[in-house]
Amino acid sequence: MARLHTELMDYVAMVGGVTARERKALIKWVADGNSPDFDNPYLLYDKNGCLMDFITAFRIKEDRRGDPGECSWGSESESAASDDGFLF
């Protein structure tokens, strides 16, 4: 778990501008044993087919749906490609 805590701190410093809401969801995600940098709960992929990092995916979900919910990932299964090439 210490590795994930270090990864979390490095990730937040790298991303910068993380809101309180994003931080809360991110901390829960990492506390559940997930990587913030190489994974996201929405299974969003970039144009190259790589999983997006947590904050990028979180922000896309917020922009597209308004509110990704109170850390309620995993409740939906989406697989359509959007116009911008993101898969979700």
Please, which pLDDT band fits residue 4 given cuts at 50, 70 and 90?
confident
The percent of residues above 70 in pLDDT, for the chain, comes to 72
- How confident is the model at residue 54, as a pLDDT? 95
Q: Is the dihedral of CA 52, 73, 70, 9 positive or negative?
A: negative
Domain residue ranges in the chain = 2-65
Confidence (pTM)? 0.67
Higher pLDDT, 30 or 74: 30
Please, which pLDDT band fits residue 45 given cuts at 50, 70 and 90?
very high
- How confident is the model at residue 5, as a pLDDT? 87
DSSP structure string for 9-24: HHHHHHH----HHHHH
